[in-house]
Amino acid sequence: MGEENFQEFYTKWIGEQRQQIGILLLASKSPSSSSSSSSPPLSVLVTRTLAHYEEYYATKSKCAKTDVFLLLSPPWTSRLEHAFIWIGGWRPTAAFHLLYSKSGLQLEARLSSGAQAEAAGLGNLSARQLGLIDELQRSTVREERRITEKEAKQQETVADAEMVELSGADVVEEERVGLALKGKEEGFEKVLRSADRLRMETLKAVVGILSPMQAVHFLIAAGELHLSLHEWGREKDERDGVQCNA
């Protein structure tokens, strides 16, 4: 899968994410609908949303086998989005900052208005949940650092003996250059695969700690932040006269 095909997939995937957020929003505002025969249970909606993310990473993994550099510097992202990219995607530990931010906002809103609708939301995390989230965050930080170190070591290979020898050669040996770069590409593919695996594992683990309604609120917040950054970045690039491919 090349740039054009993956970009087409990504555009379609973004559209599906917007639709899913709309469904999740309706469910979050009508808790009683979870028991209605005409509406799927909240747990089913959560599972569908996670499956949508898994589809994205599976397709991304296939594309990485042919062009990992495309996914590490995706041309369909805006400059704003690119500033927040960690190894071709969102930083896993950002999930915890998102969770705490949304939890604080919902708690503040519930305390100020006394709204019962948010009582089952993220503003009502239990002590046990907070303990599990803290433990998960610590392990995620350790794994994120380990992968970041792997990326740094891979980046340092740009100045290994073979690359320096090739760059200083009087005659460019295209075959040797191709083999050298192929090795670098395979190394980055492994790093990207590890990063994407941690992203998906973190998302599923956070959702696993939450109740179905809390998971719905979390997935809404994650989707809204992603889509908003995408739109804000596109609009800024257009104002600044920067071409965006998506």
Distance CA 114, CA 184 (A): 57
Angle value at C-alpha 57, between 19 and 237, nearest 5 degrees: 65
pLDDT score, position 38:
62
Q: Write the single-letter amino acid at 68.
A: V
Distance CA 46, CA 38 (A): 17
Give the contacts of 243 (CB within 8 A, at least 6 positions apart). 237
Indicate left, alpha or beta for 87 from its phi (over 0: left) and psi (-120 to 50: alpha). left
Q: What is the pTM of this model?
A: 0.92
Strand segments, DSSP code E, in 69-227 are none
pLDDT score, position 34:
46
Map out the domains of the chain as residue ranges. 3-239
Region of poorest pLDDT, from 27-31, 52-56, 89-93, 225-229: 27-31
pLDDT score, position 245:
60
Count of CB atoms situated within 10 Å of the CB of 132: 17
Distance CA 210, CA 212 (A): 6
Reported residue count of the chain is: 246
Reported as a single tens digit per residue, the pLDDT across 11-61 is 999 999 999 999 999 999 875 544 455 678 999 999 999 999 999 999 999
* % of the chain with per-residue pLDDT over 70: 91
Distance CA 52, CA 17 (A): 8
Reported as a single tens digit per residue, the pLDDT across 127-159 is 999 999 999 999 999 999 999 999 999 999 999
Distance CA 187, CA 157 (A): 10
179: pLDDT strictly greater than 70: yes
Count of CB atoms situated within 10 Å of the CB of 175: 7
Task: Supply the Cα-derived Rg of the chain in whole angstroms.
Answer: 21
Token output for 22: 């709309």
Task: Answer whether 24's CB lies under 8 Å from 219's CB.
Answer: yes
